[in-house]
Amino acid sequence: MCDSYVTEVAVSEARSRLADVIEESRRSGEPVSVTRRGRRVAVIIDAETFDRLVDAADDLEDRRELAAAREDADDYVPGMR
């Protein structure tokens, strides 16, 4: 995801048309940044994108834990090189 195509809405606008903002993100699959005084304070993303991001983060954490286990000379992980 790249900030150049992220839609921005002010908190006050997001509050007044939240259902529309959510639908825009869901339909486009793109994040919507919610800003206060020009600073991003939240990001609205569709549920599928959120699930993919959480799964990717979980996978990365699992890989880091496996790498740490492999580095520990006393820790043998069967089937792994």
CATH at residue 15: 3.40.1620.10
Residue pointed to by tokens 């580095």: 71
pTM for this structure? Answer: 0.67
Per-residue confidence (pLDDT) for residue 74, from 0 to 100: 64
| Per-residue pLDDT tens listing for the chain (81 residues) | 444 567 999 999 999 999 999 999 999 989 999 999 999 999 999 999 999 999 999 999 988 888 887 777 565 656 665
Contact criterion met (CB below 8 Å) for 81 and 61: no
Does residue 20 sit within a domain?
A: yes
Per-residue confidence (pLDDT) for residue 5, from 0 to 100: 62
Does residue 78 sit within a domain?
A: no
Residue pointed to by tokens 């839609």: 7
Q: Which residues contact 16 (CB under 8 A, 6 or more apart)?
A: none
- How many domains, the chain? 1
Task: Supply the range of the domain harboring residue 37.
Answer: 3-71
Does residue 77 sit within a domain?
A: no
Per-residue confidence (pLDDT) for residue 79, from 0 to 100: 67
